[in-house]
Homo-oligomer: A and B are copies of this chain.
Amino acid sequence: MEKVDRRVKRTHRLLGEALIALALEKSYDDVTIRDITERADVAYITFFRHYQDKNDLLTKLLQEMLDELERLTHEDNRATEGLLIFQHVQQYAAMYQMVLSSESTLPVRRRIRDSIAAHLIAVCTPLRNVADEMDVPLEIIAHHKAASLLALIEWWLEHNMPYPLERMAEIYNRLILDSVMHLIC
């Protein structure tokens, strides 16, 4: 645990808070770096002393959020997986909305998708028998599951969460988990 200069810590916090607040007011894409530094009461140039660009800041903000989800779903109690995911999404709804609705966050969205897919591959590879030539490749199944989950989350958020998270978890189980499991086992 290295000590970080209090000023650095404060700058990071101020810039992060400013970005989130501004992205909620207008849209992520419309937020300029000047907006962020002015809202944070920080010099413009200071932004570039800490981050390469706006996406870099967003990515770092997202990191711990995703780590937390990773920790939650790692225990992998298949019965509650959907519940945990949608609880988490509801908790960080603003952040997810930001990532899923803005034009310029494709790399971030890709990283989320790929990490979900990689997780499934890691879990399933040892379980799977010798690959049948006729089977759907595991890599494609994993990609499909990850993309479907993100699409479901996106739908929920874009429609302002019309169903409670418990219902979404159930839908997730039927729509995605069941059909994926059917193909794997």
User: A residues within 8 Å of B by Cβ?
Assistant: 102-107, 136-137, 140-141, 143-144, 147-148, 150-152, 154-155, 171, 174-176, 178-179, 182-183
Whether B183 contacts A140 by the Cβ 8 Å rule is no
The 3 closest A-B pairs by CB, nearest first: A147-B151, A179-B179, A103-B106
Jot down 19 A-B pairs with beta carbons below 8 A, ordered by A.
A102-B106, A103-B103, A103-B105, A103-B106, A136-B171, A136-B174, A136-B175, A137-B171, A140-B152, A140-B175, A144-B148, A144-B151, A147-B147, A147-B148, A147-B150, A148-B148, A148-B151, A151-B151, A179-B179
Give every chain B residue within 8 A of A152 (Cβ-Cβ).
140, 143-144
Chain B residues near A140 (CB-CB < 8 A): 152, 155, 171, 175
Please state the number of chain copies in the assembly.
2
Q: Please give me the residue from chain B that is nearest to A152 by CB atom.
A: B144
Q: Which residues of B contact A179 (CB under 8 A)?
A: 175, 178-179, 182
* Residue in B closest to A163 when the chains form the complex, CB atoms: B137
Instruction: Report whether B104 and A175 are in contact in the complex, using a CB–CB cutoff of 8 Å.
Output: no
